[in-house]
Structure 1
Amino acid sequence: MNKQTFLSQVIMTFLMAATMSGLLGLIFSGGPSLEWLASWPRQFAIAWPLAFLLTMVAWPTSTALTNAILRPRAGSAAAPATESPRADDAV
């Protein structure tokens, strides 16, 4: 795994764990309150490492599935795009 992929996973899991733990805590606590605000950091501290570990496992599978979906199928290759002729090309 290269540094860019690793850092991307650190940042993405941080953002996702922060928003998901905050939003789900907000929903299940019945709305914004001091109790929700006090419990959110603990929920985030649990969610972030779990999210990071899960992406380390899921990343290769996700990449393989993406490549399989986007790979051109044999015999169904799209025709190469051609540019329309410009007026100054005609002689």
Structure 2
Amino acid sequence: MTDPKTILIAQIMISGMMAFCMTGFFGFLHMGLTSQWLHEWSHAFVIAWPVAFCLSLIVGKLSFTIACRITGK
């Protein structure tokens, strides 16, 4: 298994990228491509990233456990 420092850095990066993409995508669906959307996106991202990171710590371990059981590793 990968060392804990690498896993933590990966979770920070993955949660940041996912929060960025998801808040942008759903904000765009809701508001369309406007200057207001861009403004709201930045606020949503700042809130979503820490939430996504905390949830990834929980869901990540659970996902790896399930995946290992499925693959038998």
Q: TM-score, normalised by structure 2?
A: 0.92
Match of 1:21 in 2: 23
> Number of matched residues?
71
Amino acid aligned to 2:9: L
Q: TM-score, normalised by structure 1?
A: 0.74
1:15-70 superposed Cα distances (whole Å, 9 cap, x missing partner):
000010001000011x1001101111100001100000001111111111000000
Higher relative contact order (CA 8 A, sep 6+): 2
Bigger share in helix: 2
Match of 1:4 in 2: 6
Task: Determine which structure has more spread, i.e. the larger CA radius of gyration.
Answer: 1
Runs (4+) of structure 1 exceeding 4 A deviation are: none
Query: Alpha carbon RMSD of aligned pairs, Å?
Result: 1.3
Identity across matched positions, percent: 30
User: What are the residue-to-residue correspondences of 1:36-75 with 2, within 5 Å?
Assistant: 36-71=37-72
Amino acid aligned to 2:54: L
User: Please, which runs of 5 or more residues in structure 2 have no aligned partner?
Assistant: none
Q: Distance in 2 between matches of 1:40 and 1:16?
A: 13
